[in-house]
């Protein structure tokens, strides 16, 4: 992908979920932009591969494996970052999981797993970031949520619930930090071409839900993260205007339900027609 050209030279950026998808692309983009990069995820081997690529651009990289659902491990990753680089200027709070299911058949354990990572994991990262940034007197937190956090739809009800919660926490934290030099942004992507979404497209219950040809490249989200930091934006949707449309749709939820059913049926037809052999 083409790297964003906005310079973040000599700033230290901690990225969660950095082993794949949006997190990996964000980490590589910040490395190319001159940042020191701290890679956080559970899979140390995958992080090592990302680190090797990031170092090719001349970046200083720290691999700090951690499970964001465990506060002690999150705290340790921040301590390692400060020990190595002296500060953490930017946090990209990106780690997330998605387990599709209709609400009526959803397993409690699956919902809990999504809440543990997407909501509580993000909370643990935010708490550590704010504690450190208050000592530093500055910083920027970017929470990667989803347009699914503005409008619930099936079979992603549990994922939507976790992202609704993340948006709520982000907005509340932003009000708590008024007057401080700590900025909080939320990025709301639509459907992005990542391994998580590819798995969704291949699952029997969701394979026809959305045509892969319409997936956005991760670079679109990376650009949005860069812009959110550069211009201190409270919220940015990918594609632009997506969140506004969802807010407007909330004024007529019944009509929106009908439109979503029509759109889903149309997407399924497009998905079937673009499969190999069709």
Q: Are the C-beta atoms of residues 32 and 57 closer than 8 Å to each other?
A: yes
| Residue 5 confidence (pLDDT) above 50 | no
Express as a percent the part of the chain with pLDDT over 70: 75
Rounded Cα gap, residues 29 and 223, in angstroms: 9
The per-residue pLDDT for range 178-202, each reduced to its tens digit, is 999 999 999 999 877 666 554 455 5
Q: Are the C-beta atoms of residues 25 and 52 closer than 8 Å to each other?
A: no
| Residue 249 confidence (pLDDT) above 60 | no
Q: Give the pLDDT of residue 4.
A: 46
Rounded Cα gap, residues 124 and 15, in angstroms: 14
The per-residue pLDDT for range 121-141, each reduced to its tens digit, is 999 999 999 999 999 999 999
| Residue 278 confidence (pLDDT) above 50 | no
Q: Are the C-beta atoms of residues 64 and 84 closer than 8 Å to each other?
A: no
The per-residue pLDDT for range 59-97, each reduced to its tens digit, is 999 999 999 999 999 999 999 999 999 999 999 999 999
Name the more confident of 121 and 213. Answer: 121
104-114: average pLDDT: 97
DSSP label at residue 107: -
- CA distances, 91 to each of 13, 26, 276 (Å): 6, 11, 41
Helix (H, G, I), strand (E, B) or coil at 223: helix
Catalytic residue among 159, 164, 210, 223: 159
Instruction: Give the chain's domains with CATH numbers.
Output: 12-273 (3.40.50.720)
Active site residue 36: no
Q: Give the pLDDT of residue 167.
A: 97
Name the more confident of 253 and 79. Answer: 79
DSSP label at residue 44: H
């Amino acid at each position: 992908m083409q790297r964003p050209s906005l310079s973040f030279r000599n700033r230290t950026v901690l990225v969660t979920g950095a082993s794949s998808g949006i997190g990996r692309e964000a980490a590589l983009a910040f490395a190319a932009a001159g940042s020191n990069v701290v890679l956080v995820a559970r899979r140390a081997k995958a992080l090592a591969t990302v680190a090797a690529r990031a170092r090719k651009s001349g970046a200083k990289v720290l691999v700090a494996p951690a499970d964001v659902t465990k506060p002690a491990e999150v705290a340790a990753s921040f301590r390692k970052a400060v020990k190595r680089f002296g500060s953490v200027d930017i946090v990209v709070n990106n780690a997330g999981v998605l387990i599709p299911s209709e609400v009526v058949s959803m397993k409690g354990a699956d919902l809990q797993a999504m809440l543990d990572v997407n909501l509580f994991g993000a909370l643990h990262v935010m708490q550590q970031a704010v504690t450190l940034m208050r000592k530093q007197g500055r910083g920027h937190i970017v929470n990667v949520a989803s347009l699914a956090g503005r409008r619930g739809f099936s079979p992603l009800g549990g994922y939507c619930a976790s992202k609704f919660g993340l948006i709520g926490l982000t907005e509340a934290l932003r009000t708590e930090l008024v007057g401080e030099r700590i900025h909080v942004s939320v990025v709301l992507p639509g459907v992005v071409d990542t391994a998580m979404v590819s798995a969704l497209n291949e699952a029997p219950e969701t394979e026809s839900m959305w045509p892969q040809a319409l997936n956005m490249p991760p670079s679109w989200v990376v650009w949005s993260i860069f812009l959110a930091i550069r211009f201190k934006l409270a919220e940015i949707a990918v594609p632009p205007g997506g969140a506004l449309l969802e807010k407007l749709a909330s004024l007529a939820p019944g009509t929106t339900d009908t439109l979503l059913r029509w759109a889903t049926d149309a997407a399924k037809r497009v998905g079937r027609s673009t499969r190999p052999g069709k």
